[in-house]
Chains A and B, each alone.
Chain A
Amino acid sequence: MASFKPYTYFQCPCTDTNLPPRRLGESRPPSSSSETEQEDDRTFDPRAPRANFSLYPLEHLLYCEDCHQIRCPRCVLDEIVTWYCPNCLFEVPSGVIKSEGNRCTRSCFQCPICIAPLSVSSIGAPPEGLGAEYVQPSGPYVLNCAYCMWSSKEIGIQFEKPNGIYAQLSKVKNGGTPVITPKERRKDREERSRDASVPMVMEEGISEEGEESVNLDAHEDLDAESQFANLKAFYQSQLAEASPASALGFTGGDYGYGSPGALSRIMGLYTGSNFADKRSKSKTGTMREAQDALEGLQLCNTASDEETIARLRNEGYENTASVAQLKEQTHPAHIHSVDDLRPIAYLLRTKRSKRCKTCRHILSKPESKVQTTRFRIRLVAPSYIPSISIRPLATSQNFLLTPFKPTQFVLTFKNPLFDRVKVSIATPGTTPGRFESRVTVLCPQFEVGANTDAWEEALREGAEREKRRTKAEASEGQLQAEAGKVWERGRNWVSVVVEVVPTSLRADVLMKEEDRGPVREDEDVVEIPVFVRVEWEAEGQGDDTVVGEGGEGG
């Protein structure tokens, strides 16, 4: 930890009200006196596991002008402006998102091995002769990773065209065998249902379109998508047959007039003879279950498991797909070996506008064009909330904290507003957590000047600047902060001094036994909760409270 950078985080107040901290069956009930004490001034503990979910850097926060509150990602509502592919920067319309899913359907792919972008290249013989450089390279094409040199040839996939890779890829399995498309499956299904019910009145023209039908195997191994589609079709057919049986011809809680049951009921409304009754009186059987792969039933294939084991035995660790690689796959089931991985289509991204959850005002709205990075509305917290930064007072020396040696830090508040703000800060005497360091703020109340035009100030107050410099020089000599006094002050910033007496990180001298144990992650960093109250007068009375929190190295 030679180079430690002090940092500050802000706690969004929205989490305080959300869920009260509840713990089931506390193993040791806290003594009643300390409990009431906790009720009164429960200080924020940056070490608590829950704190990580409510702390944000100032730059991540927005500010609602109407509520006078900072707004964290949890207390804003998102609205999507555009969807786009991060690779080709093409905008994707929302309809496509609904139908095609959340991935780029052009030719943008990530390497399944190392997630670098893949490029399409031809593996055909390069054209020769005069003007060969003007000739388009001819197929077949493969996807290539420039980083790890992976190529889709390794999984036996080649493409005929250099564009529309997504569509081409969805038709081929690894190894090059074609996938039976959902369309073909649907057709086959329809044909079968036609065969099953011979006296069909359906006389509509059989739309063959010259494609020969695929005969599907009733015992084939389906992938997740087609099994799902088969199951869905199966259940739908079962439900459709069930539908006339329901009392009013309604299924479930669904009132489709297109359903035959409703139709027959309406037809029988005024005539005495009831169409529907005939059916509903007939015996009702239960929905049956799926019988074969065509209906979505998949018997467990133990042979493939044995194959996997044999491959593990022969090919070893290197040829298995890692957890990280599997995580990127869209259909990770049954993938074990590197050869089963498929190129990953890029996940789309969004541009979002954000609204305040309470007053629904827009806090941030980007330009809808993908290429621009401008914002139409952007109410970010750094332009409303004084930024807080912390640095060690003695700049020269290495500022790692030494146990039990008081160290002084400069806490600087910088005001972005065009009004003067009154700041009061408070810290608990000792930091929460296992290792309690003592903390003293030397000047808890002060005013920070307005963020006026920099030039204006330079012209007007030359003398004052002079004064400040002398003061700084004077203090350079003694390096001693005075209690109750501001350390340094500028046009729109003020620094105060905080003194920290860090404790020793030796866990074995701790009082409570259950606290003992080696130093955990981040426990060697002193984190000080600071309650900051900022007041200013604007058109309306502005009043704002924020809990900020500073961290220091140790």
Chain B
Amino acid sequence: MSSANGPAHRSVANIRSPPTAHPGSPHTPLRTISSAFGSPSALRAEEDYVVIELGARYFRAGFAGDAVPKAVLDYGPEQRRRAGDYRKWNMGYEKDWRKRIQGKEWGEAYELWRPDLRGLDLGLIGDKVDRAFREAFTKYLLTDSRPRRLILILPSVLPLPLVSTVLDTLFTNYQPPTVSLMSAPALTTVAAGLRSALVVDIGWSETVISSIYEYREVQCTRSVRGTKMLGEEMFTMLVEAVDPTSLQERGDERGFGEKARNTLSFEECEEILVRMAWCKPGKKPEQPVASFGLTPVKEEDELRSSMRTMNISGDEAADPQISIPLRSTNPRQTLKLPFSKLAEPCEIALLGKGNLPQHLDDEELPIHLLVYRSLLKLPLDVRSICMSRIIFVGGGSNLPGLKARILNEVAALIEQRGWDIVQGKAVDQFRNNPKLQRTRSRQADEGPMEVLRDSNLVPPGLLDQEPDPIEDDLRREAKKDPPVVSGNLRAIDSLGAWAGGSLLSQMKIPAVSIIDRDQWIQQGPSGASRAGEITGTTQRQSMGPGAFKSAAGDRSSWTLGLWG
């Protein structure tokens, strides 16, 4: 997912506007008419898009133009009961949860798909999507089953089998005329009002950091530290507090043993995670005083921060006992935990406490390190734009304090390492060794290249800058626009990918990947042409009869865009 293939929003990037400085000429505000024939009377028959976002845990659906989705559904085990199975209302149903989790990994019953597609029943995924879709439509959207255009928001990297299963389900069961695919990180950027951003999606099975530059995804890095891992850590912590013996017997390769899993239910663990988990603020970043590379300052720094943490954990008033009533344990009990303990799972799972960064695999970097690395990998100017536009989304981003913590950690990393890929003990030694530094500079000074000085030649350093018309133009343009904030760390809130999709479809901005129902049914996923072959919507338009067809109407070739 590198370089410039973020075609889903190429059309957005193509929108050019005249300089904003002279909006003086009068013009009527733009009316948005969606119909193919563009007559104003068609305003009434406005066709509303339905925007759907698919994630590993939640299904969001609603009409374009809304700020929040009307329906947010999960794929929990209650969603996959038979019709007319009312056992949920039985007495004592809640107590029976142990039976229901048998034969599954922790949390497996709650997710739509897992990243590992081996042995995955695609039909089942189709069924789940179908049921969620149906429930959303009948219960929340309150619409009939007239075919509607759909906008499907998907994570920017989704295996083709999953994409095709979802599309199959939608096309066969609901007959939408078209389904447009859009990528979640780009929409998140749109929903924050930005053109470029570093989208940190702390999702269920992984954290994905996508760098969006001018609406294009330029880089994507990921780590397995997601909400699932956080949940597992929380589970371990709680089970240990309830019954320390049950954790000793570990299950097969990964996951929990039988006894541990039967101690506490998934729902309860998640409930505690949502309600009580938090994230420690960590050390505050030093004010940008010029304190470069001097070791004594650093030591003092660490000392101070450790004093601060000591203070926090030592003070009884700052760390009260929190009592949490547990209902799924046998027998019911009230757990008493120190407040600071509830921040531990986040430290371990998301921030990689207890592991040295060099011991970690590339795929399990803690989030702050991942943010730093992805910024580091970006080209300089993209980095300066992106680092002041960090957007946190995903379930994990709701954890109180996490955003600030990650920002602090990243700031500390930048302070410590600068923007240098090379790091390690040898580099530090090299940098701190005055001898080496001196020799290098001396070499530069006393190099063999002696420049012969001509008296009537002005040294190039004193020459006037050569006039560069392009540079001038750029500067003039830049002056007209408000200055672009760049170069400092800053987090920005986004309304989320769903709202972005809703916004874009309100603006009538077509996606690159618009899939026609007939074409999909005839050709299936293999009929899609590669992303590069499609020129987007920039076809030549003329006033001929063809011009009045909608842009997506008569494409002979279609693409799956990012996902093809």
Contacts and interface: CB of A to CB of B under 8 A. Distances in A.
A509 interface: no
A57 interface: yes
A235 B503 contact: yes
B91 to A, nearest CB: 12
A285 B17 contact: yes
A352 B144 contact: yes
Given A55-B83, A256-B33, A228 B507 contact: no
A320 B507 contact: no
B548 to A, nearest CB: 6
B379 interface: no
B491 interface: yes
A352 B138 CA distance: 9
B464 to A, nearest CB: 27
A288 B191 CA distance: 14
Contacts, number: 331
Interface stretch (B114-122, B361-369, B428-436): B114-122
B323 A316 contact: yes
Interface stretch (A23-31, A120-128, A454-462, A497-505): A23-31
A274 B484 CA distance: 35
Contact of B18 (A50, A59, A241): A241
A451 to B, nearest CB: 24
Interface centre among B83, B126, B161, B537 (most CB of A within 10 A): B83
B275 A321 contact: yes
Nearest to A227: B495
A267 interface: no
Interface in A72-101: 72-74, 77-80, 83, 97-98, 101
B126 A23 contact: no
Nearest to A285: B19
Contacts of B403: 300, 302, 305
Given A228-B499, A521-B100, A298 B30 contact: no
B272 to A, nearest CB: 8
Given A49-B80, A322-B271, A350-B142, A287 B276 contact: no
Nearest to B141: A102
A250 interface: yes
A59 B541 CA distance: 56
Interface stretch (A13-21, A105-113, A167-175): A13-21
A19 B171 CA distance: 12
Contacts of A350: 138, 142
A519 B67 CA distance: 46
A148 interface: no
Given A283-B18, A317-B325, A248 B123 contact: no
B140 interface: yes
**A contact residues, range:** 35 or more
Nearest to A286: B16
Interface stretch (B20-28, B176-184, B203-211, B217-225): B20-28
Interface string B64-99: 001110101000000011111000000000001001
B82 A52 contact: yes
A3 to B, nearest CB: 11
Interface string B105-125: 000000000000111111110
Contacts of A59: 84
Interface in A197-253: 197, 199-202, 224-225, 227-229, 231-232, 234-236, 238-245, 247-248, 250-253
Interface centre among B27, B490, B491, B509 (most CB of A within 10 A): B27
A89 to B, nearest CB: 16
B495 A228 contact: yes
A56 B82 contact: yes
B121 A50 contact: yes
A197 B23 contact: yes
Contacts of B15: 238-239, 242, 286-287
Interface string B270-309: 1110111010010000000000000000000000000000
Interface centre among A97, A256, A314 (most CB of B within 10 A): A256
B477 A297 contact: no
A323 B270 contact: yes
Nearest to B385: A289
Interface of A: 9, 18-27, 49-50, 52-53, 55-57, 59-60, 72-74, 77-80, 83, 97-98, 101-102, 196-197, 199-202, 224-225, 227-229, 231-232, 234-236, 238-245, 247-248, 250-260, 263, 279, 282-291, 295-302, 305-306, 308-309, 312-314, 316-317, 320-323, 326-327, 330-333, 336, 347-350, 352, 517-521
Interface of B: 11, 15-20, 23-24, 26-34, 38, 40, 48, 66-68, 70, 72, 80-84, 96, 99-100, 102-103, 117-124, 126-127, 130-131, 134, 138-145, 161, 165, 168-169, 172-173, 191-196, 214, 258, 267, 270-272, 274-276, 278, 281, 318-320, 322-325, 339, 392, 398, 400-404, 407, 477, 480-482, 484, 490-495, 499, 502-503, 506-510, 537, 541-543, 547-548, 550-552
5 contacts: A18-B172, A19-B172, A228-B66, A256-B33, A258-B30
Given A101-B66, A285-B480, 4 more contacts: A72-B83, A283-B18, A323-B270, A352-B144
